[in-house]
Chains A and B, each alone.
Chain A
Amino acid sequence: MLSVLSNPALLLAAEGEGGGVEFPPINLIVKWPAAFGDGQWYAFNKIALISMIGMLVPVILFWLAGRKASLVPKGIQNVMETSIDFVEDQIVLPAIGPDGMRYLPMLVSMFFFIWIGNLFEVIPTSHMPANARMANPLLLALTAWVMFIGVGLKHHKLGYLKEALFPPGVPKALYLLVTPIEFLSTFLIRPFSLAVRLFANMLAGHILLVTFSVLTITLMVLGPLVIVGGLSFAMLVAFTGFEFMVAFLQAFIFSLLTAVYIGGALHPAH
């Protein structure tokens, strides 16, 4: 319903007879029937399939890269080592530092899982990013939340909570105000904001592409408006390219913020 409100075209469609263009309801564009286990906890639908592909693709790529790894990398090994370098140089080292290398497997997994899940937005015949549903963003955000709190408690025991809730250098009287804010922002809002940022971006992109797709088809069918339909198609192509970039960007931002939170828990004084 919120996504409907975020898009004027869908609002127009909600007008009913007045608009003429029939946009699909939100249920139709994000909710998928189960292939098996319908109504059960193991219900397997399109999102579950994309999640499994999001796991299998990196597994296959990294397996192929590491199978005959040589000192002089070439082909797939070169590509996958470059991706490791990217996560290491752009995420782990700037956000955590050299002692963050132990979190590299988690962050590489997170980055690829989100990215491939997002790419299904622009893959023909799929056109559905897994992260336009709240399940995966919530799962990953909770994982990040457990990780950074766990890292903080493991390395600083209860001193982590003290550092997080009572930041040093703040006048004691202000703790009445600062401590509840820090508690809310660090322990409650962080995971929620992580999940919502990813989910909302991908859902908005998905609705945008659906909107322009429906608009293009409808305008093409209506003869006199075929020129406007061409413009709508051009916008659809442009937004598809944009979503291609967003898919990568959101995976990067999510992984980077997770690393920043872990780095903050590892070095709370900074």
Chain B
Amino acid sequence: MLAAVLVRLAEEDPTAINPVVPDEIGEIFWGAVAFFSLWILMRYWLLPPLMRIREQRRAKEIADLEAAEEARTAAVQVRRDYDATLAEARQRAAAVLEEARSAAEAERQAAVSAAETEAAARRQEAMAELEAARARAIAGMGDDVADLATTAASKVVEAPIDASAHRSTVDTYVEGNR
């Protein structure tokens, strides 16, 4: 059937071409001119500027990446330095604080101690004054007691008693009850 169709087609159109066979040399010639011209132009004129710029871009990308890596390393170092400085500052602040606290404590201790010393001195002074006043009071009280005792005794015995004669007895008694 296929052969019959082929024969029939050939009979109908004897000028029918076989499209697989290149029957126009001019098409090959102009195709060759066009393609090889394009190849040569592409090789020597058209591609080089774009390839150069691509290379430059790649080189710049690599350089930028390296710079970024360096900047990152530097940033890490700066961060480390900052952290170290911060830690040192904190340490120093803590030391200053501790020192201030110690100084304040020492000052407080000194103040307390001085106050206590002063208080003790004042207390001692007051005690001494108190003791002296007491002594003075007792001393003043001896005469009164002697007078009172001799008056009371003279009332008991119903006879006058010489106060000066018994003064030493009264004094000894008062001294014994002090």
Q: Bound pair: A and B?
A: yes
Interface residue ranges, A against B (CB under 8 Å): 1-5, 11, 14, 16, 25-27, 30-31, 34, 37, 40-45, 47-48, 51-52, 54-55, 58-59, 62-63, 65-67, 69-71, 73, 77, 80-81, 84, 104-106, 108-110, 112-113, 130, 132-136, 138-140, 143, 196, 199, 203
Let me know if B8 is at the binding interface, CB within 8 A.
Answer: yes
Check B27–A81 contact: CB distance below 8 A.
no
A and B contact pairs by CB, cutoff 8 A, 22 listed = A11-B5, A14-B9, A16-B12, A25-B16, A27-B15, A47-B27, A47-B31, A48-B30, A51-B30, A55-B37, A58-B38, A58-B46, A59-B46, A63-B46, A66-B53, A69-B49, A69-B53, A104-B47, A106-B39, A109-B35, A138-B22, A139-B31
Q: Output the least CB separation between B28 and chain A (Å).
A: 4
Q: Hey, which chain A residues are within 8 Å of B22, CB to CB?
A: 133-135, 138
Q: Hey, which chain B residues are within 8 Å of A66, CB to CB?
A: 46-50, 53
Question: Which single member of A27, A41, A73, A130 contacts B16 (CB below 8 Å)?
Answer: A27
How many Å lie between the Cα of A58 and that of B48 in the bound state? 14
Q: Hey, which chain B residues are within 8 Å of A113, CB to CB?
A: 34-35, 38
Check A71–B28 contact: CB distance below 8 A.
no
Among the stretches B54-62, B107-115, B156-164, the one at the interface with A is: B54-62
Let me know if B176 is at the binding interface, CB within 8 A.
Answer: no
Please judge, given known A-B contacts A27-B13, A135-B31, whether A5 and B26 are in contact too, CB under 8 Å.
no
Please judge, given known A-B contacts A52-B30, A135-B27, whether A1 and B60 are in contact too, CB under 8 Å.
no
How many Å lie between the Cα of A55 and that of B45 in the bound state? 14
Please judge, given known A-B contacts A62-B42, A71-B60, whether A55 and B26 are in contact too, CB under 8 Å.
no
Q: Hey, which chain B residues are within 8 Å of A16, CB to CB?
A: 12
Question: Which single member of A51, A71, A84 contacts B31 (CB below 8 Å)?
Answer: A51
Let me know if B41 is at the binding interface, CB within 8 A.
Answer: yes
Consensus secondary structure, chain B interface:
helix
Q: Output the least CB separation between A77 and chain B (Å).
A: 7
Q: Output the least CB separation between B32 and chain A (Å).
A: 6
Check A27–B35 contact: CB distance below 8 A.
no
Check A69–B50 contact: CB distance below 8 A.
yes
Interface size on B, residues (CB 8 A): 48
How many Å lie between the Cα of A62 and that of B33 in the bound state? 19
Check B26–A62 contact: CB distance below 8 A.
no
Nearest-neighbor residue (CB-CB) of A108 within chain B: B42
Check A40–B26 contact: CB distance below 8 A.
yes
Q: Hey, which chain A residues are within 8 Å of B52, CB to CB?
A: 69
Interface residue ranges, B against A (CB under 8 Å): 2, 5-6, 8-10, 12-13, 15-35, 37-39, 41-43, 45-54, 56-57, 60
Check B50–A105 contact: CB distance below 8 A.
no
How many Å lie between the Cα of A63 and that of B34 in the bound state? 16
How many Å lie between the Cα of A135 and that of B5 in the bound state? 27
Please judge, given known A-B contacts A1-B6, A27-B17, whether A70 and B53 are in contact too, CB under 8 Å.
yes
Please judge, given known A-B contacts A59-B41, A59-B46, A69-B53, whether A30 and B16 are in contact too, CB under 8 Å.
no
Check A55–B35 contact: CB distance below 8 A.
yes
How many Å lie between the Cα of A14 and that of B41 in the bound state? 47
Q: Hey, which chain A residues are within 8 Å of B23, CB to CB?
A: 31
Check B50–A14 contact: CB distance below 8 A.
no
Q: Output the least CB separation between A195 and chain B (Å).
A: 9
Q: Output the least CB separation between A147 and chain B (Å).
A: 11
How many Å lie between the Cα of A44 and that of B34 in the bound state? 12
Please judge, given known A-B contacts A69-B49, A84-B47, whether A136 and B9 are in contact too, CB under 8 Å.
no
Please judge, given known A-B contacts A69-B53, A105-B42, whether A133 and B35 are in contact too, CB under 8 Å.
no
How many Å lie between the Cα of A2 and that of B16 in the bound state? 11
Check B46–A3 contact: CB distance below 8 A.
no
Q: Hey, which chain B residues are within 8 Å of A104, CB to CB?
A: 47
Q: Hey, which chain A residues are within 8 Å of B32, CB to CB?
A: 139
Q: Output the least CB separation between A225 and chain B (Å).
A: 26
Check A105–B20 contact: CB distance below 8 A.
no
Q: Output the least CB separation between B20 and chain A (Å).
A: 6
Check A34–B38 contact: CB distance below 8 A.
no
Q: Hey, which chain A residues are within 8 Å of B39, CB to CB?
A: 105-106, 109-110
